[in-house]
Structure 1
Amino acid sequence: MYLRIVAFLAVLCLTTADTCSKPEVSASAYTTQDATVLTNIAFIAEFHLKCANGVEGVPLYAEINGKTIPAARIGEGNHYQVSWTEDVKKARSGDYSVNLYDDDGYAALRKAARSGDDPSTVKPLVTIVVNYPGAYQGPWVNSEFMAAMLAVLVWYLAFSAKSKLLS
């Protein structure tokens, strides 16, 4: 009988997850800078979450522009990474807000989406900002076009010089 009670309490302790109180986050981000031969822009945000109550390993979910994706834990502790891609033509320069949710927040977010409520009413655990300055998409004029124009110009100058000499 005592063994069952101890086993029940052990399972209860393992299944109850602590929530992060007073979260602080420090983040760094990477975005694709050169899109001359790419079809998608990559966004990568790495961050460290610090909880006032010392909780580690909290499962996190990120919501970016209405899409929800899991945050990957990197190594031990509270280091995480979130990555996503966007089409080059749809990616806008500026700030992207990445709302982070724990299990309870993610459940509330899904419940709001299922019931048709506004998901922005669910308060995120913390929000990080990823700045995307834009990507270089190549020169305005292709080098092939410039080479063809230069060839036409050289031909014209040579033909004009020849005409003047023969006249």
Structure 2
Amino acid sequence: MACFLSYGFLTCVLGFLSAVSADTCVQPEVVASAYTTQDATILTSIAFVAEFSLTCRNNVKGVILYAEINGKTVPAARIGDSKYQVSWTEEVKKARSGDYSVNLYDEEGYAALRKAARNGEDPSAVKPLVTVMVNYPGAYQGPWVNSEFMAAILSLLVWYLAFSAKSKLLA
């Protein structure tokens, strides 16, 4: 009823038909780049950002994608005609260095993934549309020894040398 009143009948019908007639991506090709936090001296979380472009052999544009990373599912943000971005964070203590697999699913794959999880089946049985690898080399978490500790040790060393030199002079 709201369709007739607010947008016009033709707009609603065209919107419905475009949603229903969405094609799936055939033979997807992905070109990806990634960013991860490199310095974690004062941070509590590591940021991961994967940016990629998706081209389909059947020239489908505007595919809605979902990403699955370590068992968590997040929507992929479309930042262009065929460019997407996925981002997530992990605590510094839990982030492991190495490769992270970002499994990408279209709407059908995402529905199958949710159905498998709901039925208690193994979600890894659902084949992703494509997988993007994000390499995390690790983050710098500061020096092994704090500068305050080194200053205290050096001041004690200077005091000891000065005290022993004074003792030798007076003796």
> If the length of structure 1 is used for normalisation, what is the TM-score?
0.93
Residues 121/90 of structure 1: CA separation in 2 closer, same or farther (3 Å cut):
same
User: CA offsets per residue over residues 43-99 of structure 1, 9 Å max, x none?
Assistant: 000000010011111000000000000000003x11000000000000000000000
- Report the counterpart of residue 31 of structure 2 in structure 1: 26
Q: Distance in 1 between matches of 2:77 and 2:53?
A: 12
Q: Distance in 2 between matches of 1:155 and 1:66?
A: 57
Residues 12/144 of structure 1: CA separation in 2 closer, same or farther (3 Å cut):
closer
Residue 167 (structure 2) aligned to one of 151, 163, 166:
163
Residue 44 (structure 1) aligned to one of 40, 46, 49:
49
User: What's the CA shift for 1:123?
Assistant: 0.3
Is 1:103 the counterpart of 2:107? The answer is: yes
Residue 63 (structure 2) aligned to one of 58, 65, 70:
58
Q: Distance in 1 between matches of 2:142 and 2:116?
A: 43
Is 1:118 the counterpart of 2:122? The answer is: yes
How do 1:10-25 residues align onto structure 2 when only pairs under 5 Å count? 10=14, 13-15=17-19, 16-25=21-30
User: What's the CA shift for 1:11?
Assistant: 5.6
- Report the counterpart of residue 4 of structure 1 in structure 2: none
Q: Distance in 1 between matches of 2:17 and 2:90?
A: 41
User: What's the CA shift for 1:135?
Assistant: 0.6
User: CA offsets per residue over residues 13-40 of structure 1, 9 Å max, x none?
Assistant: 3122111100000000000011010000
User: What's the CA shift for 1:9?
Assistant: 7.5
Residues 161/120 of structure 1: CA separation in 2 closer, same or farther (3 Å cut):
same
- Stretches of structure 2 that go unaligned for 5 or more consecutive residues are 1-9
Q: Distance in 1 between matches of 2:13 and 2:41?
A: 59
Is 1:89 the counterpart of 2:90? The answer is: no
Aligned-residue RMSD, C-alpha: 1.6
**Count of aligned pairs:** 161
SS in structure 2 at match of 1:144: helix
SS in structure 1 at match of 2:115: helix
Q: Distance in 2 between matches of 1:39 and 1:11?
A: 43
User: What's the CA shift for 1:100?
Assistant: 0.1
Q: Distance in 2 between matches of 1:13 and 1:80?
A: 24
Q: Distance in 2 between matches of 1:145 and 1:10?
A: 69
- Report the counterpart of residue 73 of structure 2 in structure 1: 68
